[in-house]
Amino acid sequence: MQELVSIQLPDLRLVLPELTVLITGFMLFSLELLFKRLSHAIAISVSLVGYLIALLFITFMPAKGETFFGLYHRDGFSSLLQFFMLLLTMVLLGFHLIYYRKKRSLYGEFYYLLSFALLGGMFLVSSYNLIVLYVALEAVSISFYILTALLRSDFSSKEGAFKYLMLGGLSIALASYGAGFMYLYSGSLDLRYILTHVGENQYFLVLGLVLFLIGFAIKIGAVPFHFWLPDAYQGAPTPITAYMASVGKLAFFAPLVRLMPYVQEHFAYAWVATVSIISAITMLYGNLVALVQKDVKRLLAYSSIAHSGYIMAGIAVAQLIGLKAVIYFLIAYALMGFGSFMVLALLERSEGWENRLEQFSGLRFSAPWLAVSFMLMLLALLGVPPTVGFVGKALVFMSLSSGSLWWLAFVMIVATGISTGYYLRITALMFMRNPSTNLQLALTGWEKALIALLTVSLVLLGAVPIILWGFISPSAENLFVR
């Protein structure tokens, strides 16, 4: 009888970063409730302190293992991704967001929704359990729906939010329906057990896996299911777009990366065929449609779709080298996408700026250093050495060649060639034309420093990729060992 009542307390040391973010979120929530007019300075400092503590826990307490009876799994991969998520959230808060308060669109809920989205993302990258994945997915998605709709009196923000909600809801329904079939097949909710389990009615497993993957394909914006992404990215307040393109991408790709080593055992052929075809369509479509865009924010949204395609090309190669390339490219895209959308967010402060393509002409004269950073970010997105974009593409290319997927490597080169058209067009407009609009940018020293930091990190991590590689390589190997 003694054993029945004794409760085994889970090891809470492993979830200390998540607990810190959760407490930060609840503190922001209750502060917002207590003080009707919460000072933004207080909200920003509370969040920054909380995230900093969580970051220190991840950096200096690299404990690994499982807790909550196998529901939560912390390894090198989850710590690495969580580190970058926290870092990017802190950088986002470092930008002077007061401008959005002037437009009556930044409220107290912005801060706690940001921390709940972050919390969901942190759980999404560190679990194999379907219930935890489902709850984390809903946490990220619901926070993103509200954050997208936060721009008051702006109809396209609401439109983007509703489209995101519709497709997001469909994706969650599909993913959980798939989870249901996988549960029916194996009687377990642990992905590792499901995929190594050999039982009767194998078609339940295949059906479940297909539905689950379609659900995640909608979330990452793979092409037959991408309709929401450009609208949601264009409608959302630009800092939120930057957040969705960086932290959102990291979070939504993580379960696919975790799934890959298990799927390749039994379904290697089907996996390679489907994922590589979707990836080829995604990168070609994203780049081709981006070519004809007049709105730079929408153009970058399509470039984000194309980058989902490149990352999926790495996932298609069901090998260790593919996994390493994917993790590198994910982190690289998080930095590049965040930086480029943040530059747009800064430019939007100028009166009358609408992100139209022709407004970029002559940016070199009106905001020289911003133009140079934006150029470097665009070149990184294009994949020019020595930037992170180049290393990421080179790694994906190497893994494609080791998996003998030559046709996909060829498609990737063609897609990159197409993308030259629009990235270089913006660069040429910025540097070779005369200015057309008057810019009044009021940037604080912090913001200049943060943009410079992002730009330098793009070049530095590309020129000396070994800095990241030292963390990526062991964590990828760890995912393959069981």
Partner 1 sequence: MKTIPLEAYLIVSIVLFGLGVFGMIVRRNLVTVLMSMELALNAVNVLFVGADSHLSLVDGQIFALFIIALAAAEAAVGLGIIIAIFRLRKVDSTDEITDMRG
Among 11, 66, 109, 138, binds partner 1 (CB under 8 A): 138
CB atoms within 10 A of CB 456: 12
Residue 393 to residue 439: CA distance in whole angstroms: 35
Binding partner 1 by CB under 8 A: which of 19, 23, 146, 320?
A: 146
Residue 126 or 129 with smaller CB distance to partner 1: 129
Selected range binding partner 1 among 27-35, 166-174, 350-358, 436-444, rule: CB under 8 A: 166-174
172 or 405: CB nearest partner 1: 172
Least Cα distance to 420 among 379, 392, 386 occurs for 379
* Binding flag, residue 120, partner 1 (CB under 8 A): no
Minimum distance from CB of 436 to partner 1 (Å)? 22
Interface with partner 1 (CB under 8 A), residue from 10, 180, 386, 474? 180
Residue 127 as a binder of partner 1 (CB under 8 A): the answer is no
For partner 1, the closer CB: 234 or 366:
234
If the CB atoms of residues 160 and 392 are measured against partner 1, the closer one turns out to be 160
Which range binds partner 1 by CB under 8 A, 148-156, 265-273, 416-424, 471-479? 148-156
Determine, following the binding rule CB under 8 A, whether residue 71 of this chain makes contact with partner 1.
no
> Could you tell me if 143 and 116 are in contact, meaning their C-beta atoms sit under 8 angstroms apart?
yes
Whichever of 230 and 462 has its CB closer to partner 1, that residue is 230
Our finding on whether 70 is near partner 1 (CB under 8 A) is no
Query: Should residue 170 be labelled a site residue for partner 1 when binding is judged by CB under 8 A?
Result: yes
| 33 near partner 1 (CB under 8 A) | no
Residue with Cβ nearer partner 1 (281 or 357): 357
Q: Does 193 bind partner 1 (CB under 8 A)?
A: no
Closer residue to partner 1 in complex, CB, 124/371? 124
Nearest approach in angstroms of CB 198 to partner 1 is 16
What Rg, from alpha-carbon coordinates, does the chain have?
22
**Given 52, 184, 268, 413, the residue binding partner 1 (CB under 8 A):** 184
- The full 3-state SS of the chain, as one line of letters, equals CHHHHCCCCCCHHHHHHHHHHHHHHHHHHHHHHHCCCCCHHHHHHHHHHHHHHHHHHHHHCCCCEEECCCCEEECHHHHHHHHHHHHHHHHHHHCCCHHHHHCCCCCHHHHHHHHHHHHHHHHHCCCCEHHHHHHHHHHHHHHHHHHHCCCCCCHHHHHHHHHHHHHHHHHHHHHHHHHHHHHHHHCCCEHHHHHHCCCCCHHHHHHHHHHHHHHHHHHHCCHHHCCHHHHHHHHCCHHHHHHHHHHHHHHHHHHHHHHHHHHHHHHHHHHHHHHHHHHHHHHHHHHHHHHCCCEHHHHHHHHHHHHHHHHHHHHHCCCHHHHHHHHHHHHHHHHHHHHHHHHHHHHCCCCCCCCEHHHHCCHHHHCHHHHHHHHHHHHHHHCCCCCHHHHHHHHHHHHHHHCCCHHHHHHHHHHHHHHHHHHHHHHHHHHHCCCCCCCCCCCCHHHHHHHHHHHHHHHHHHHCCHHHHHHHHHHHHHHHCC
Distances (CA, A) of 476 to 154, 261, 321, 420, 471: 43, 10, 9, 31, 9
- On whether the CB atoms of residues 161 and 149 are closer than 8 A, the answer is yes
Candidate segments 115-123, 231-239, 250-258, 456-464, binder of partner 1 by CB under 8 A: 231-239
Q: Which of 16, 44, 53, 135 binds partner 1 (CB under 8 A)?
A: 135
Q: Is 368 in the site for partner 1 (CB under 8 A)?
A: no
Considering only 49, 52, 131, 442, the residue that binds partner 1 (CB under 8 A) is 131
Q: Figure out which of the listed residues 29, 107, 162, 365 binds partner 1, where binding follows CB under 8 A.
A: 162
Position 317, amino acid: V
Is residue 192 within 8 Å of 262, Cβ to Cβ? yes
Task: Tell which positions 425-464 bind partner 1, by CB under 8 A.
Answer: none
Nearer to partner 1, 230 or 383 (CB): 230
Which listed residue (18, 32, 75, 231) binds partner 1 by CB under 8 A? 231
| Among 161, 260, 296, 335, interactor with partner 1 by CB under 8 A | 161
Q: Shortest distance, CB of residue 109 to partner 1, whole angstroms?
A: 11
Contacts to partner 1 from residues 256-315, by CB under 8 A: 289, 292-295, 298
Answer yes or no whether residue 187 interacts with partner 1 by CB under 8 A.
yes
Q: Which stretch binds partner 1 (CB under 8 A): 160-168, 435-443, 452-460, 464-472?
A: 160-168
Interface with partner 1 (CB under 8 A): 130-131, 134-135, 138, 141-142, 145-146, 149, 153, 155-156, 158-163, 165-166, 169-170, 172-173, 176-177, 179-181, 183-184, 187-189, 230-231, 234-235, 289, 292-295, 298
